[in-house]
Structure 1
């Protein structure tokens, strides 16, 4: 295995990054990350409980997140829960599962107006922390298990959600490409689970799964607003300590010598949707990651990218084409809306542009443009709490020592030769086309 990633407890009692001041509680089982700022009118709490994506378990956690939104022992109905948040000056609460590379996180969120805008202090964040703690540790569970009627309703709801997601041809193509490309890796799994697994769950199995998940790994509580670290840590103390030894999460990416694959499947679509997956072996913790970011922008991560100019504007072979990076695994994807008859020509252009970058590197103008866009995005993230939280959580799950401002400095230092060298590491794995029609799927090597 290569590109190993892990969640490791830190030896120090805290740390400071460009965006968060962090401390750990409960012997490292819960990290509290504080972004102290007065620029926002609201304060937020975000609790993330990560685990490696696993078949069956991912579906169960997706169901659990839906159940946690419906009530607690103190507020045993959705109506009572909504009334409670309304009384907290229209506070917002939700639970969800999210995918971060090969990890699935159970996320609980609370946001409320900052106390300085209220007639008197209401300690809304303290009440929010209590709500999140109750939702996790004291959910509405008559007879000690989830309400069976709720379970059946949420099973139906999740089925509908999955069906709607797969009805979107872009989502379907991206998911199928990952399933084929990563057949034995957790990256193939969705944080929303699989429809065929839903019927296997009931109130007993879901209750047991929640208890087990609460004992896994390390939790991360992000606190953003006009609050200092000491007050934020007191909020973290509202979450009961876990007694089991934390389980280490370890994920790698495969590096194989197998030939590239080409798969065509047919379905209801007005036009073909092409997804081409490449492996680079360069993830967020890798020293060449800044160069990979810039290579992606030069290739197709922006409308000025090579693929857009050549395949869309010059050749007229697609309706849309773009590239993007999966930072946790070092995957580079190219997606395009094309007519099926143009498949091979589009694939040839993608190969040609990557080979040209590997031989010659980008022009100085291309590199400067890509650097400007990347710096604008990284520096602009300071204005968006969700973006700050997302990046910080990714780097922790990837065990990456780089923080946002250090990444800014490293992007500034990338040279033409660095991008050229990264291009030489990129290898096509799977080209997947979802084509209009009702014919059975077909596949073959490229």
Structure 2
């Protein structure tokens, strides 16, 4: 059960469970997606993991983590809906399950504090050697995106479909912006982020009777907690667009973007999960069984929902010459969903798979944090257990109601040159 404590400058989420023999501490800094800052936020995780004042190299930082019974430090940047999220997390052994008495928790929190508030700096900016090296690392990541054609197709679909929306921005940033960022620029922005992002701190583990409240308070230094703006679905009344681009590839990528206009805290959200499972979320789904298995038109075919933006995506890998046929069959699967061509038994089986998937997520400490963090982003009171209960109640009529709301926005094809 989650215990939420609203502190000065941040919200503390305590999730006590005996499922894990570790304690997971996750700092989530959340801001609106913005072209001016997205590349800086993409670069920060690379730089922050390379050293602190007292542990000035990545090797020394790793050695310190090893001394803390193999504690794990992980920093990343992501996007959900129209929010940019920087996550700094640490996973450590729970002292309660160690045979010898130790100050592991306090020592780990001290290191986490140093990673966040005392990174390695020089002359009012991040260390230039670390900074230059990690700029190259991020540039390699950007290049890798263009080599991963499935990711590239999805990125291009989103950029075109959401051209007037912050959601179009690439989570890894933009190469043309990377060149202009200096060590001082990035450090100045990081100091701003520490004080002005919405901050949620999650602690998961067997923490009953541990004074986590005061321990976290000692390492967080903030004056205010900014309000988190709720994402509003973007409505589009125009006809669906089709965009075809070419590349040096053998397997074409055929992706579809739909607007569901259903967000995490909407009453239809549980039914949307079941809809997605029936449509393309599981190996028993229409997309998998018909597009891939029955007609052999795709190497893969699946769908997923974006819970904080009201979108549904279809991904498929096809032979370039099969484009028209594959497009027709995929659109046919959506038509069938909207006409109710699925059985009560299929609904029940999909509900069971959806519930199992949610329970599996809750069996992992990071999954547990992410499901609870969904509520924060949605400004919702819907707990994961309540979501599972809502899925259990979904009927075929509920799924049909969701299907009627879904509108095709864009078809995107990345195909081979000369086809």
Q: TM class, shorter-chain normalised? A: over 0.9
1:24 corresponds to 2:25 = no
1:85 corresponds to 2:65 = yes
Deviates more, 1:367-376 or 1:99-108: 99-108
Native 8 Å contact 2:5 2:13 kept in 1: yes
1:111 corresponds to 2:59 = no
Root-mean-square deviation (Å) = 1.8
Aligned residue runs from structure 1 range 48-59, under 5 A: 48-59=28-39
Partner Cα separation in structure 1 for residue 33 and residue 63 of structure 2: 35
Partner of 1:5: none
Partner Cα separation in structure 1 for residue 197 and residue 63 of structure 2: 34
1:136 corresponds to 2:116 = yes
Native 8 Å contact 1:141 1:147 kept in 2: yes
Partner Cα separation in structure 2 for residue 222 and residue 37 of structure 1: 13
1:210 corresponds to 2:193 = no
Aligned residue runs from structure 1 range 191-202, under 5 A: 191-202=171-182
Aligned residue runs from structure 1 range 2-401, under 5 A: 19-26=1-8, 29-228=9-208, 231-244=211-224, 246-360=226-340, 362-401=342-381
Partner Cα separation in structure 2 for residue 423 and residue 344 of structure 1: 24
Cα 1:192–1:138, aligned 2, differ >3 Å: closer, same or farther?
Answer: same
Cα 1:359–1:385, aligned 2, differ >3 Å: closer, same or farther?
Answer: same
Partner Cα separation in structure 1 for residue 313 and residue 228 of structure 2: 29
TM-score normalized by the length of structure 1: 0.90
Deviation at 1:359, TM superposition (A): 2.6
Partner Cα separation in structure 2 for residue 304 and residue 95 of structure 1: 35
Partner Cα separation in structure 2 for residue 430 and residue 127 of structure 1: 51
Partner Cα separation in structure 1 for residue 98 and residue 236 of structure 2: 59
Aligned residue for 1:151, secondary structure, equals helix
Unaligned residue ranges in structure 2 (runs of 5+): none
Q: 2:408 aligns with which of 399, 405, 428?
A: 428
Native 8 Å contact 1:279 1:330 kept in 2: yes
Aligned residues: 419
The structure 1 segments of at least 4 consecutive aligned residues displaced by more than 6 Å after TM superposition are none
Unaligned residue ranges in structure 1 (runs of 5+): 1-18, 440-446
Aligned residue for 1:193, secondary structure, equals coil
Native 8 Å contact 1:318 1:339 kept in 2: yes
Cα 1:24–1:125, aligned 2, differ >3 Å: closer, same or farther?
Answer: farther
Native 8 Å contact 1:361 1:419 kept in 2: no
Deviation at 1:83, TM superposition (A): 2.0
Native 8 Å contact 1:312 1:318 kept in 2: yes
